[in-house]
């Protein structure tokens, strides 16, 4: 059995920037990591030369960190039909994020497909595919954009495997698309991983292909099946549960796929502020 590729989302700030991210991942016993190239809720970004990439990549090599996943900010919404300037902005920013991902030696950039806001799913899918075509047709890197499975809150697109398939069908460079499978989102969207693990994967295989999964976000869920909420829980503290999450982490079909924890930080005894990362314990527990 190949070594399990398992890590978490890590921060990137201060003088060390990416070197600090890699050190943090190594402390957790991770061999994969995920970073945002800047704050996920805004578009302020440092220049690539200021991210301390060389030192970080050298440290990753020494520490045995094999996979670096980049997550695009939530602020990109290619499905926005209401404000054309937000669509243009999203395309431009996504193109830059693909270039940044390449600079991190990452093979994959995770993207929330977008929200239709007041338009219907079909129109939003057209718009999302149009945006992806604009980005991918002009890019010559080998970074793949992994469309995340969404929980289906509000007007999110990508709440079903079929919706992701609709986007695929309209993108010219399908070879540059992949899927990010989020266990919390899939549960909240109504796919019963707990009681029908193989059934859910068979459905995904039929509609998109299991080989399209490039990243797995390993998250428990605070919500019941089909709640369309998207609230992550710590491993074993939610409705997906340890056994199902352990099963997907150890599933040999995904041996080559990085698994990334995005579980909530914990509070110290008697505190209300979340200051303790759970990742070292959760990684060890899931590897067991």
Where are the chain's structural domains?
Answer: 6-287
CA angle 198, 109, 138 (to 5 degrees): 125
Under CATH, which architecture does the 6-287 domain have? Answer: Alpha-Beta Barrel (3.20)
Q: Is 105 annotated as a binding residue?
A: no
Q: How far apart are CA 265 and CA 70, in angstroms?
A: 20
Q: How far apart are CA 146 and CA 214, in angstroms?
A: 7
State the CB neighbour count (10 A cutoff) for residue 224. Answer: 11
Do the strands 177-182 and 213-218 form a parallel or antiparallel pair, or are they unpaired?
parallel
Sign of CA dihedral 99, 105, 107, 111: negative
Q: Is 232 annotated as a binding residue?
A: yes
Residue carrying structure tokens 């460079």: 173
Half-sphere exposure of 184 (CA within 13 A, CB side): 23
Q: Is 140 annotated as a binding residue?
A: no
Return per-residue pLDDT of the chain as tens, 288 residues.
Answer: 578 999 999 999 999 999 999 999 999 999 999 999 998 888 889 999 999 999 999 999 999 999 999 999 988 999 988 888 899 999 999 999 999 999 999 999 999 999 987 778 999 999 999 999 999 999 999 999 999 999 999 999 999 999 999 999 999 999 999 999 999 999 999 999 999 999 999 999 999 999 999 999 999 999 999 999 999 999 999 999 999 999 999 999 999 999 999 999 999 988 889 999 999 999 999 999
CA torsion angle for 163, 200, 33, 231 (degrees, to 10)? 70
Q: Is 228 annotated as a binding residue?
A: no
What are the Cα distances from residue 49, in Å, to 52, 55, 245?
Answer: 7, 12, 38
Phi first, then psi: what are they for 161, rounded to 5°?
Answer: -60, -35
Q: Is 148 annotated as a binding residue?
A: yes
State the CB neighbour count (10 A cutoff) for residue 225. Answer: 17
């Amino acid at each position: 059995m190949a070594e399990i590729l398992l890590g978490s989302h890590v921060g990137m700030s201060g003088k060390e920037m990416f070197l600090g991210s890699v050190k943090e991942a190594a402390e957790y016993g991770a061999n994969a990591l995920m970073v945002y190239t800047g704050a996920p809720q805004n578009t302020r970004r440092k220049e690539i030369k200021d991210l301390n990439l060389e030192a970080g990549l050298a440290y990753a090599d020494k520490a045995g960190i094999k996979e670096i996943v980049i997550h695009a900010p939530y602020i990109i919404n290619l499905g926005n039909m209401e404000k054309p300037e937000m669509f243009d902005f999203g395309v431009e920013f996504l193109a830059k994020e693909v270039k940044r991902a390449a600079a991190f030696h990452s093979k994959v950039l995770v993207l929330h497909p977008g929200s239709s806001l007041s338009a219907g799913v079909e129109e939003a899918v057209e718009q999302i595919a149009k945006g992806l075509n604009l980005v991918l047709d002009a890019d010559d890197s080998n970074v793949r954009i992994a469309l995340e499975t969404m929980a289906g809150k509000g007007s999110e697109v990508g709440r079903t495997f079929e919706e992701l398939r609709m986007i695929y069908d309209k993108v010219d460079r399908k070879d540059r698309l992949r899927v990010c499978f989020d266990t919390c989102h899939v549960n909240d969207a109504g796919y019963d991983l707990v009681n029908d693990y193989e059934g859910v994967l068979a459905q995904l295989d039929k509609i998109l292909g299991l080989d399209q999964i490039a990243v797995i976000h390993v998250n428990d869920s605070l919500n019941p099946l089909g709640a369309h909420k998207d609230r992550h829980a710590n491993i074993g503290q939610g409705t997906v549960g340890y056994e199902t999450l352990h099963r997907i982490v150890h599933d040999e079909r995904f041996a080559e796929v990085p698994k990334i924890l995005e579980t909530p930080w914990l509070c110290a005894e008697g505190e209300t502020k979340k200051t303790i990362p759970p990742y070292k314990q959760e990684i060890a527990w899931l590897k067991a």
